[in-house]
Amino acid sequence: MATATAPIDERGFFSLGLHSGATFNALLAAGRDPDRLAIVEVVRDMPHIFGLGQYGGHRIHVSEVDCVIESDRSVFVLPDAPITEEDERIARHVEHLIDDGATLQFGIGGIPNSVAQLLASGQKGDFGIHTEMFVDGIMHLHRAGKISNQKGMFDGFSIATFGAGSAALYRWMDRNPEVRMLPVAQVNDPAIIRQNRRMVSINGALSVDLSGQVMADTVGPRQYSGVGGHELFVIGAHDCPDGKSIICLHSTATANGQRLSSIADSFPAGTPVSTPRHHVQFVVTEHGVASLGMLTARERVDALIEIAHPDFRDALRAAAPGR
């Protein structure tokens, strides 16, 4: 078992830096098994990030390591995602859905960072952070004084299981007492997520059909991303008292040079569904918000067509089930 770490500290520990996920417990198990190897690759600019003692502290001692490799590579920096006009319009819709005291989960991309920037410059606050991925927007919220982390679970800390962003983010996270990395089994557990105060999950999607099913990682036979914690955070936020699960997407996409509606009348047979319709609450495009939680099947169709791009609404109405 091998993983990248920060340089060894004064007590002989290697911090696992930007990634705990499923790696941490596997690394510890390998280090304690005489028939396996535990290998750490020390990356010189990997930030030293703290964990919590009850979950192993996000570190491994040199005495449990079989091999140490001194790397000459730098830590991966995630390029800034360009923020489009559609991203900004979606972010404004999402910002209106978030209340003071919410616990926030952000995904990757321009929309979540736009939401975080709006919250950082706005009047709302007293937020908590419980997220799979730690992104630059969370740093901006901390710097704006918007994070209290009095959220009911892991109070006092912004919780994540991995981080990806700018070099500035990594410098800010280094030995930051307000940040904690935990194994994915704790961070992405819906039973834990739902105990946070006013949990809000903000996730992206590739397409949503008129029943409310979400396709977030695959189009046809092509997989665009991993499944990740998308559905787990949707469930956790959905089941949280005063929680909100928000799915964001542009109303159109371009494939093979053709502009298509991201709100689809139906998915092709065999399409992998990332999130089933009964877990979906809010769907947001640049054209508005569809609140699906208490709607009938027919009402869902109407609500989703209203946030589709105007150029495709008539065709969606004509193709809608039961029309």
Q: Are residues 48 and 90 in the same domain?
A: no
The whole-chain average pLDDT of the chain stands at 91
| CATH number of the domain encompassing residue 37 | 3.40.1080.10
Q: Cβ atoms within 10 A of the Cβ of 126, count?
A: 16
Residue 61, classified by CB atoms within 10 Å of its CB into exposed (0-12), middle (13-18) or buried (19+), is middle
- What's the pTM value of the predicted model, to 2 decimals? 0.92
Catalytic residue among 132, 231, 299, 306: 132
On whether residue 208 sits in a domain, the answer given is yes
List the structure tokens of 116. 């975080």
pLDDT (tens digit per residue) in 265-306: 988 877 788 888 888 999 999 999 999 988 999 999 999 999
pLDDT more than 90, % of the chain: 71
3-state secondary structure 73-119: CCCCCCCCCCCCHHHHHHHHHHHHHCCCCCEEEECCCHHHHHHHHHH
- 132 catalytic per annotation: yes
- pLDDT band of 12, cuts 50, 70, 90: very high
| CATH number of the domain encompassing residue 99 | 3.40.1080.20
Q: Are residues 46 and 167 in the same domain?
A: no
Query: Is 100's pLDDT higher than 90?
Result: yes
Q: How large is the average pLDDT for residues 107-124? A: 88
Domain that includes residue 14, residue range: 2-70
